[in-house]
Chains A and B, each alone.
Chain A
């Protein structure tokens, strides 16, 4: 059960869909951990605690039973796990990796996961990133850190074992989630998505 006191930056936004072509939705409170460490050092603990030792190749992910390990850098992986299981996993990893050089940090609230699905999902994304997101080039399981709109994020094509039913997932820092959400809606307009207006209307004061 999710804690009603928690609030996502996309609170108040609901799924936007244009049918088969494209759907944008939030995977709220998805658990996210940063795990740093040499792949060889951390693999046994990962296999034990997540069911997968992590991807073998760069820019790939491995998923099992709703737990996914994403390659982010040579010594950095992200663990994406069901909501509210991340704290326990972080604790378990820390104790299992005691004495091994590593770093586990909970970044669940740092990043918002926005899912895109549909036959035109890749074309929606392509309007916002110079990275090649064509399904042939960015196959299921792939991961890439890149530019999205005027922000920065991580793109992921979750495999079946992730238990996430989006074709693409974009991780964006929380403070930019609303910006990206509305930009995605705008990008999907061609396929019939309804435009969304970003949070705004603040009074500015620049002068002293």
Chain B
């Protein structure tokens, strides 16, 4: 046990029967299960664990939990590296490897320490002032500054660990399992309410665990025993969830809280269950919340108060009683209130010698004085620590009366325990939008007005005595359960035998007075961000007088600790310097998260192949087996082309496009949106949502239509078929399916309920195969039961119901391509069967599957537009030169009024035209700009429009393009140019958009 020279012979909640070996900064240490890195390092005599952010000053362990500002290390390496871990929170396990961060080459010999020698030249706002100038300003300097100032390094690769999110609803959520939280959970649980108790550390008990168990009895049981009984009762209840290692990190609207559970971090990797996540995020919706988040002790602000070995008095006591280690053998206690004295007595009785108690107050309670005298402790009342010595560990303190001209005495010590008073932990309360209230007696802010359904209990509410905390917790738990609809009584408060020295008659000073010249004083307010009183004073001098400005100028209260111990001291300094009371200074804003949460936990299980749904059709597996190359369309994965062996993507598209006209090719069109519309006003509904007239569409017939937004711009397109006079089958674009359905439902329900129609999405009820090409008729006739597909009697834009081997099928004579087409619909579960049947029947015609890229090319050959490619939300049907699709004679329709606005009606709007390059082999770039001059003029270049679609067309035998061009309809035959980067503009001829017709007529 010699490797743990500061381990006390007994005490603490660690398991002394087992030894744990770990490494920190290259050195081997031992500890026991139950130790944190901090307690085990202290047992080994190590206090210095880090370097500070800016000056690279040695940083030690100030706290014993989440409050510690700067004792940050990296744990693990490579892809498992976890940076910025607080040593006061990380639990040790066998094989744990921790490293100092922000040091080079090592913790004790660090080149960056040179920054500290230059401290006078790094005032607050230094970066703003210095680096905003220069040729490229901040951009020039940023890389250097980022390298010099810093935190830990990110892991080297993607995180291999599993994470998980889960959701819970509860009646009462209790945050914090200290005395108040335990009593609150108990009271609520006994009423039968669903209760979640979330404790940030590994063990229940909170501050009770920091007390001498021999001197703390609840109902005649030592504290750990009492805690065990409460925990056992809570865990035995079915509706109670007790979570340890779980931080409530965010309090959001409507009593929604985020809890972050470290499920496996405390275990060596090989002991972690492969079926459990490393960390779990709980998304909790609570009817009532009890915040029993305790209080945090503040350090004192004095010259050279940042040395390793300067520790919160409460933390020193916690190390003794919770972990069984002595943080120092020769302790100087420095206090501004009574609680520090209690810590001194406790440490003295635990085997430390107390070098002195220094108190800034002159008047000290008599009982404390006599007890100190009885213990033989030297007392320096009315004095302050005005300086310290020691490099990697404090070796002594300079003590001087705060008033008058008393001399300085040097007192040797290896620990300075500072007791600056207690700050109720109101972070979550403030996140919940609760209003804080300044309390002069408490010298701290405490919860004032609640905004959500929560209550603070115990120390977080400014109640510091143990019996008060127990009673307040019981009361709050019962009230919360009552408010959630249960009938609860507060759990009886245990009879208490405990000795307490609470914060009393505090003298809250922002900075310990000294005779030192202010410019020579380095008194840290924020240990993580290296902010001193000098920085804050400078900020105020320079006009940053709002506390939010002072924070941002100095960075006080920023970083991974968010100033948990620093903030109130900073506020106090601002208050003193401005001569305004604390409640006028206010506070900075507490935001989520309370502490850093890993991205892994926030992403949860929704990573890798569970990242997002990838929707596939019933034929998807066939496509995969036939070398389809896919593209995402919304959440769908659609085949873009089917590649044959040795074939390029472009070659495949050309082959498929030829087959779709000259032979037979088939497209999986399942993904198109489908809506079943039925009701007496269904026809009138179509009249109002489409631009064309639907009054005369007979049953069995189909019509292509445009829907416009209220702004008159094309929103979606599709074919709708009349099944019966009051029954229609609508199709929409794949990407528009969900949006259009909701939009139509909105109109049907809220604008035109008198039409008495119902809409139901049937997108996925039907699998759809669209056959195109000369031979498609033969294939359809072969697979259908006794079906005549003769286009003369089964004309374009009509449909028939039939059967395929008895399976009901609906066949539409509609087309994406302009070639002879049949679209076969069967119930989706028959989709793959149909698809395979089509290939069986089509084999003798060399049937070709084709993808979306080919479909896009085919429709461009015919001049069919794609909504969203050839339109962009600023295009009317007239802009597409499809005036025929807008009925002027029928009644109103959505967007009609907008079409007559002067801007939408003007003649020189951009209009859709065809473009043919003079060089037929040259393909235009989609998105390229159309200009009117042979040479590209100097910017800003006057632009006529842009290319929306461009392809190499096998059926036209050359390149083709569609473009939106200003006044395009009047430019037929004109010569224009299309720009390209790094080359002369390409000359093009403006044409109509139906290239097939142009070819037929010999224009191409």
Q: Mark B608-621, 1 if CB is under 8 A from A, else 0.
A: 01101111111011
Does B640 make an interface contact (CB < 8 A)?
yes
Q: How far is the CB of A136 from chain B (nearest CB, A)?
A: 7
The reply to whether A208 and B609 form a contact with Cβ atoms under 8 Å apart is no
The reply to whether B618 and A7 form a contact with Cβ atoms under 8 Å apart is yes
The reply to whether A103 and B613 form a contact with Cβ atoms under 8 Å apart is no
Partner among A106, A137, A151 whose Cβ is within 8 Å of the Cβ of B613? A151
Give residues of chain A (62-112) contacting chain B, Cβ–Cβ below 8 Å: 75, 101-103, 105-111
The reply to whether A189 and B275 form a contact with Cβ atoms under 8 Å apart is yes
The reply to whether B614 and A137 form a contact with Cβ atoms under 8 Å apart is no
Contacts of B283 in A (CB 8 A): 130
Does B763 make an interface contact (CB < 8 A)?
yes
Does B577 make an interface contact (CB < 8 A)?
no
Does A183 make an interface contact (CB < 8 A)?
yes
Does B832 make an interface contact (CB < 8 A)?
yes
The reply to whether B829 and A127 form a contact with Cβ atoms under 8 Å apart is no
Give residues of chain B (257-313) contacting chain A, Cβ–Cβ below 8 Å: 275-277, 283, 285
The reply to whether A36 and B613 form a contact with Cβ atoms under 8 Å apart is no
The reply to whether A107 and B164 form a contact with Cβ atoms under 8 Å apart is no
A109 and B827 in contact, given A130-B285, A190-B275 (Cβ under 8 angstroms): yes
A109 and B194 in contact, given A127-B164, A137-B169 (Cβ under 8 angstroms): no
A150 and B758 in contact, given A6-B829, A204-B629 (Cβ under 8 angstroms): no
Contacts of B375 in A (CB 8 A): none
For the complex, what is the distance from the CA of A205 to the CA of B652, rounded to whole Å? 13
A105 and B762 in contact, given A183-B610, A197-B609 (Cβ under 8 angstroms): yes
Does B926 make an interface contact (CB < 8 A)?
yes
Give residues of chain A (137-191) contacting chain B, Cβ–Cβ below 8 Å: 137, 149-151, 173-176, 178-180, 182-183, 186-187, 189-191
Give residues of chain B (59-80) contacting chain A, Cβ–Cβ below 8 Å: none
Does A1 make an interface contact (CB < 8 A)?
no
For the complex, what is the distance from the CA of A30 to the CA of B680, rounded to whole Å? 31
Does A198 make an interface contact (CB < 8 A)?
yes
For the complex, what is the distance from the CA of A173 to the CA of B761, rounded to whole Å? 11
Of B126-134, B483-491, B529-537, B630-638, which binds chain A?
A: B630-638
Contacts of A151 in B (CB 8 A): 613
Does B224 make an interface contact (CB < 8 A)?
no
Give residues of chain B (685-717) contacting chain A, Cβ–Cβ below 8 Å: none
A107 and B762 in contact, given A7-B833, A127-B164 (Cβ under 8 angstroms): yes
Partner among A5, A34, A206 whose Cβ is within 8 Å of the Cβ of B631? A206
Give residues of chain B (589-621) contacting chain A, Cβ–Cβ below 8 Å: 605-606, 609-610, 612-618, 620-621
For the complex, what is the distance from the CA of A192 to the CA of B830, rounded to whole Å? 35
Does B370 make an interface contact (CB < 8 A)?
no
The reply to whether B760 and A174 form a contact with Cβ atoms under 8 Å apart is no
Does A47 make an interface contact (CB < 8 A)?
no
The reply to whether B649 and A205 form a contact with Cβ atoms under 8 Å apart is yes
Contacts of B3 in A (CB 8 A): none
Q: How far is the CB of B757 from chain A (nearest CB, A)?
A: 8
Give residues of chain A (1-45) contacting chain B, Cβ–Cβ below 8 Å: 5-9, 29, 34, 36-37
Q: How far is the CB of B2 from chain A (nearest CB, A)?
A: 43
Of all chain B residues, the one with the shortest Cβ separation from A102 is B758
The reply to whether A186 and B630 form a contact with Cβ atoms under 8 Å apart is no
The reply to whether A107 and B807 form a contact with Cβ atoms under 8 Å apart is no
Does B784 make an interface contact (CB < 8 A)?
no
A205 and B605 in contact, given A9-B618, A109-B764, A110-B765 (Cβ under 8 angstroms): no
Contacts of B830 in A (CB 8 A): 5-7
Of all chain B residues, the one with the shortest Cβ separation from A187 is B605
Contacts of A8 in B (CB 8 A): 829
Of all chain A residues, the one with the shortest Cβ separation from B165 is A127
Most chain B Cβ neighbours within 10 Å, of A180, A191, A200: A200
For the complex, what is the distance from the CA of A108 to the CA of B767, rounded to whole Å? 13
A101 and B636 in contact, given A110-B762, A183-B610, A202-B628 (Cβ under 8 angstroms): no
Contacts of A7 in B (CB 8 A): 618, 829-833
For the complex, what is the distance from the CA of A150 to the CA of B621, rounded to whole Å? 22
The reply to whether A134 and B169 form a contact with Cβ atoms under 8 Å apart is yes
A176 and B613 in contact, given A132-B285, A204-B631, A205-B631 (Cβ under 8 angstroms): yes
The reply to whether B828 and A110 form a contact with Cβ atoms under 8 Å apart is yes
For the complex, what is the distance from the CA of A9 to the CA of B827, rounded to whole Å? 13
Most chain A Cβ neighbours within 10 Å, of B628, B760, B926: B760
For the complex, what is the distance from the CA of A201 to the CA of B761, rounded to whole Å? 30
Contacts of B239 in A (CB 8 A): 136
For the complex, what is the distance from the CA of A110 to the CA of B609, rounded to whole Å? 23
Of all chain A residues, the one with the shortest Cβ separation from B757 is A103
Q: How far is the CB of A29 from chain B (nearest CB, A)?
A: 7
Contacts of A111 in B (CB 8 A): 764
The interface size bin for chain B is: 35 or more
A109 and B631 in contact, given A130-B283, A150-B606, A182-B610 (Cβ under 8 angstroms): no
Most chain B Cβ neighbours within 10 Å, of A101, A110, A132, A200: A110
Of all chain B residues, the one with the shortest Cβ separation from A185 is B610
A126 and B605 in contact, given A8-B829, A182-B610, A205-B629 (Cβ under 8 angstroms): no
A175 and B617 in contact, given A190-B275, A205-B640 (Cβ under 8 angstroms): yes
For the complex, what is the distance from the CA of A198 to the CA of B169, rounded to whole Å? 30
The reply to whether A5 and B605 form a contact with Cβ atoms under 8 Å apart is no
For the complex, what is the distance from the CA of A107 to the CA of B765, rounded to whole Å? 6
Contacts of B632 in A (CB 8 A): 204, 206
Of all chain A residues, the one with the shortest Cβ separation from B605 is A186
Contacts of A174 in B (CB 8 A): 618, 764, 828
Partner among A36, A136, A173, A192 whose Cβ is within 8 Å of the Cβ of B760? A36
Contacts of A198 in B (CB 8 A): 609-610, 614
The reply to whether A129 and B167 form a contact with Cβ atoms under 8 Å apart is yes
The reply to whether A127 and B167 form a contact with Cβ atoms under 8 Å apart is yes
For the complex, what is the distance from the CA of A202 to the CA of B621, rounded to whole Å? 10
Q: How far is the CB of A200 from chain B (nearest CB, A)?
A: 6
Contacts of B764 in A (CB 8 A): 109-111, 173-175
A149 and B613 in contact, given A103-B678, A105-B676, A109-B828 (Cβ under 8 angstroms): yes
Partner among B276, B610, B680, B807 whose Cβ is within 8 Å of the Cβ of A190? B276
Contacts of A127 in B (CB 8 A): 164-167, 605
Does B756 make an interface contact (CB < 8 A)?
yes
The reply to whether A203 and B629 form a contact with Cβ atoms under 8 Å apart is yes
Of all chain B residues, the one with the shortest Cβ separation from A195 is B275
For the complex, what is the distance from the CA of A170 to the CA of B617, rounded to whole Å? 20
Does B168 make an interface contact (CB < 8 A)?
yes
Q: How far is the CB of A103 from chain B (nearest CB, A)?
A: 4
Q: How far is the CB of A96 from chain B (nearest CB, A)?
A: 16
Contacts of B624 in A (CB 8 A): 199, 201-202
Contacts of A101 in B (CB 8 A): 679-680, 756
Contacts of B609 in A (CB 8 A): 182, 197-198, 200
The reply to whether A200 and B614 form a contact with Cβ atoms under 8 Å apart is yes
Q: How far is the CB of A4 from chain B (nearest CB, A)?
A: 9
Most chain A Cβ neighbours within 10 Å, of B164, B649, B758, B763: B758
A150 and B760 in contact, given A7-B618, A202-B624, A204-B630 (Cβ under 8 angstroms): no
Give residues of chain B (745-785) contacting chain A, Cβ–Cβ below 8 Å: 756, 758, 760-766
Most chain A Cβ neighbours within 10 Å, of B275, B620, B827: B275
A-B contacts, 14 listed (Cβ < 8 Å): A6-B833, A7-B829, A7-B831, A9-B618, A36-B760, A37-B758, A101-B680, A105-B676, A107-B762, A110-B761, A136-B239, A137-B169, A200-B614, A203-B628
- Closest 9 A/B residue pairs (Cβ): A175-B615, A103-B758, A109-B828, A132-B169, A6-B829, A179-B613, A36-B758, A5-B833, A105-B760
Q: Which residues of B contact A (CB under 8 A)?
A: 164-169, 194, 239, 275-277, 283, 285, 605-606, 609-610, 612-618, 620-621, 624, 628-632, 635-637, 640, 649, 676, 678-680, 756, 758, 760-766, 805, 807, 827-833, 926
Given contacts A108-B765, A111-B764, 17 further A-B contacts (CB under 8 A): A7-B618, A107-B762, A109-B765, A109-B766, A110-B761, A110-B828, A127-B164, A130-B283, A131-B167, A132-B285, A149-B610, A186-B605, A192-B275, A198-B610, A200-B614, A203-B630, A204-B630
